[in-house]
Structure 1
């Protein structure tokens, strides 16, 4: 049942990627919307789930928040190391915005997140049909944002369109694979919470330090800001409906 429902997430992810492709003539709006979606996913979806799943504290601080900070710093470190490497090879001061490795790494993290969504869906159906349906609704609804962000992130850093489509396809398949895996393997809840915290920190860094500045640098307009707010509000709506 979980695998069958996960096919809905597959289709919704592809729809998000297709939308991102079709609005290339409004790149600043795409980036503004992607930044808002990423901010909403981190603050309203990933972090609450991570805090609930990870549970334990380390020296007075929830483990999920420590991993969240670690993820943010890790993304910053990787981005700076790639920028330094390109500068050493004659790249210009903005070269880090076009480091393909950053885009592929970010997209791979999105794929991992989607796989964990599938795992959560499969585990929920093991608990009961009602719980499974609620989790499935949340996963399918926000997978549009996942597909949109996966394609946008990959292309933003200079990767070819075929690579962006390949990452989009992997992201679409990930929930199906994750749901199917629950028939064979049970992932500990604490591990899932820690992963979500780490991934949330990295995603927030990309949104705040890369995506949104690029959106407003390319075309500083009120419409870009409105798209960012709309993206965050959309995630809030999805989380509220699934609650």
Structure 2
């Protein structure tokens, strides 16, 4: 049953990715919306779940928040290291494609998209675990996952392509992200993940996602088009996630 329900997440993720792909002529609006969706997912979905699931404290600070900061710093470190490596060979490489600023390295986009795939797999695990508790719980969790997987697909395609990866790579990461919930749900027939480890993962992933949204996606959205419409798209993205979380609760 959990695997069948996860197919809904598969389709919703693809729908989000194909939407992002079709509106490339309004790239700044896409990035503004993606940044808002990412901010909403982190602040209104991932962090509350992480704080509830992790439970323990480290030197008086909730473990989920410590790992949240660690995830932010890790994403910053990875991006800087990859950008430095990219810059070292810049003179031997062709010019950057239009719309891609200096310092944008395709590896960062692929790494971020891979993290999104991992998150989607954990969504599938959550569906499977909820159905193990009961049908009502499984249905509620599945509805929440399916609802926000549109945003996951949108963000996965956007964050892969904005770093200069070819369209084929972005589509491959999108399909991987779509298939991940199905694989995660199927895995619950064999594996159960302790709740505190799930909370730690959500905190770490939330920090990394916030870095990408605040330090990369949103500045890029306003780089060439500092328009009011871009800001409105960001606010709309946050509002959409708030609505989804509120209805799912």
Structure-1-length-normalised TM-score: 0.97
Structure 1 position 179, deviation (Å): 0.5
Give distance in 2, aligned partners of 1:174 and 1:86.
Answer: 30
* 1:11 correspondence with 2:11: yes
Alignment partner of 1:118 out of 124, 128, 146:
124
Q: What's the counterpart of residue 38 of structure 1? A: 38
Give distance in 1, aligned partners of 2:89 and 2:10.
Answer: 40
* 1:2 correspondence with 2:2: yes
Structure 1 position 89, deviation (Å): 1.8
Give distance in 1, aligned partners of 2:59 and 2:216.
Answer: 32
Q: What's the counterpart of residue 141 of structure 2? A: 135
Q: Map Cα deviations across residues 85-126 of structure 1 (whole Å, 9 max, x no partner).
A: 2222236994322x0100000000000000000000110111
Give distance in 2, aligned partners of 1:107 and 1:95.
Answer: 20
Structure 1 position 76, deviation (Å): 0.5
Q: What's the counterpart of residue 96 of structure 1? A: 103
* 1:201 correspondence with 2:220: no
Structure 2: runs of 5+ lacking an equivalent: none
Alignment partner of 2:217 out of 211, 215, 234:
211
Q: What's the counterpart of residue 21 of structure 2? A: 21
- Count of aligned residue pairs for this structure pair: 242
Structure 1 position 218, deviation (Å): 2.1
Q: What's the counterpart of residue 59 of structure 2? A: 59
Q: Map Cα deviations across residues 187-242 of structure 1 (whole Å, 9 max, x no partner).
A: 11111111111000000000000000000012110000000000000000000000
Compare 155-164 and 83-92 and name the one that shifted more.
Answer: 83-92
Give distance in 2, aligned partners of 1:155 and 1:79.
Answer: 16
Give distance in 2, aligned partners of 1:85 and 1:183.
Answer: 42
Give distance in 2, aligned partners of 1:218 and 1:145.
Answer: 24
Q: What's the counterpart of residue 234 of structure 1? A: 240
Give distance in 2, aligned partners of 1:90 and 1:150.
Answer: 26
Structure 1 position 176, deviation (Å): 0.4
Structure 1: runs of 5+ lacking an equivalent: none
Give distance in 1, aligned partners of 2:85 and 2:129.
Answer: 43
DSSP 3-state at the match of 2:103: helix
Q: Is the 8 A contact 1:34 1:211 kept in 2?
A: yes
Structure 1 position 83, deviation (Å): 1.7
The RMSD of aligned alpha carbons is 1.2
Give distance in 2, aligned partners of 1:220 and 1:83.
Answer: 25
Q: Is the 8 A contact 1:33 1:230 kept in 2?
A: yes
Q: Is the 8 A contact 1:42 1:200 kept in 2?
A: yes
